[in-house]
Structure 1
């Protein structure tokens, strides 16, 4: 855990808004917390550039797929330079219908967050699979930790 960033709560709130937009299956809400020239790299490696394109892609994704809901846990927020911070988090996804977290969908989230006027926005968001190959105890520990914050 890092020392608190001066705007720690605001930056964490931006991440929470991103997850809330995903969980509401709203491309508009997801993209609302991104910079106009933001980038998102998804769990599957797909990359999208630009807030408007991200919103459109998310709308299609949500229309075509029953996406699981995120459960996220921020690990740290730290300053990179004046007006730039990086947030590290872990996340799980609760399957529709069962509500159970699917360990195969655990991810490490990294967000580069920048001050845009008076508020913080995500400039780059990545979701990296947290598979912990060969370490089932690490998967089980992360699952238990995420279950505890639901």
Structure 2
């Protein structure tokens, strides 16, 4: 694995780990100043507002925990990379991802003075309309043995 692939994968891991830790500041800190978060519900949050957006979610709700697998990381230039991943979410107390919360994530990372940061993180619900085999496969791949 090339150094940029490792760094961008580590960035993605840091973002989702911050979510799992319910740490709004750590989550937001991984974004470039002009970055954006597109949530599972289509919410569009610019980087300067991410921490304030997440803080009440983490303090007022028992959030599900991410599980994920990175599919690939591609260099788009020497300072820009695209990471694609599948994700699932474990509701509080669950050991298996809830299929309705499965998503496909796209992360565009940019390299600058502060290292690799998120320019865009987009969560797209993985509903696989009329293809239950794909939904089952997605969930199974993220389910611990």
Output aligned runs, 1:1-150, within 5 Å.
4-50=1-47, 52-117=48-113, 119-148=115-144
Give unpaired runs (5+ residues) of structure 2: none
Question: CA–CA distance in 2 between the matches of 1:119 and 1:23?
Answer: 23
Q: Alpha-carbon deviation of 1:5?
A: 4.8
Question: Normalising to structure 2: TM-score of the pair?
Answer: 0.94
- Structure 2 CA distance for partners of 1:85 and 1:138, relative to 1, 3 Å: same
CA contact (8 A) 1:5 1:78 kept: no
Following superposition, which runs of at least 4 residues in structure 1 exceed 2 angstroms of deviation?
none
Structure 1 SS opposite 2:143: helix
Question: CA–CA distance in 2 between the matches of 1:120 and 1:146?
Answer: 26
* CA RMSD after TM alignment: 1.4
Question: CA–CA distance in 2 between the matches of 1:33 and 1:46?
Answer: 18
Question: Normalising to structure 1: TM-score of the pair?
Answer: 0.91
Q: Alpha-carbon deviation of 1:57?
A: 0.4
Question: CA–CA distance in 1 between the matches of 2:104 and 2:6?
Answer: 20
Give unpaired runs (5+ residues) of structure 1: none
